[in-house]
Copies of this chain bind each other. A is one copy, B any other.
């Protein structure tokens, strides 16, 4: 809190005229992002897109979030476990629903013959995880271009790195 206060040019004690507690900041960060993801899933999941296109659309949001606000994404990804109850339980419940729907989409793709017969949970974690490095490496002055990243990551998830001959 001293570091934070210093960044905005005041004493730590003065921060408490603007926020309730350190926990409240964590809470706000985690749920604002969780809501963004959940809203997107609520739109995409029941829609008419093919499973592959649904995955493309969700992956695109994940990359966008990491690129536009990577510190926020990093805090949610790494610090959600320090949420206090009952917020932690609520957060985990939201995440579980999101995970399950994403896995359902993968399973549907498998059933329709468009996605390989992989373990859908392993495929899901591998897919999502492949985006996470952005939270450490992507920042405003990054050497990387968002569209280049979006193209490359999406291509790798869909068809890998190997040239098929």
Partner-B contacts on A (CB < 8 A)? 52, 78, 106, 109, 113-116, 118-119, 121-123, 125-133, 137, 143-144, 148-149, 152-153, 155-164
Contact = CB atoms under 8 A, between A and B. Distances in A.
A119 to B, nearest CB: 6
Interface of chain A: mostly helix, strand, loop or mixed: helix
B163 A116 contact: yes
Nearest to A106: B161
A130 B125 CA distance: 8
A133 B125 contact: yes
Contacts of A119: 144, 148, 152
A155 B52 contact: no
Contacts of A162: 52, 114-116, 158-159
Contact of A155 (B109, B116, B155): B116
Given A130-B126, A144-B122, A156 B161 contact: no
A157 B123 CA distance: 11
Contacts of A126: 130-131, 133, 152-153, 156
A162 to B, nearest CB: 5
A137 B132 CA distance: 15
Contacts of A116: 155, 161-163
Contacts of A129: 129-133
Contact of A160 (B121, B122, B144, B159): B159
24 contacts: A78-B78, A114-B162, A116-B162, A116-B163, A118-B155, A119-B148, A121-B143, A122-B148, A122-B153, A123-B152, A125-B137, A126-B131, A127-B156, A128-B133, A132-B132, A132-B133, A156-B157, A157-B161, A158-B162, A159-B159, A159-B162, A159-B164, A160-B160, A164-B164
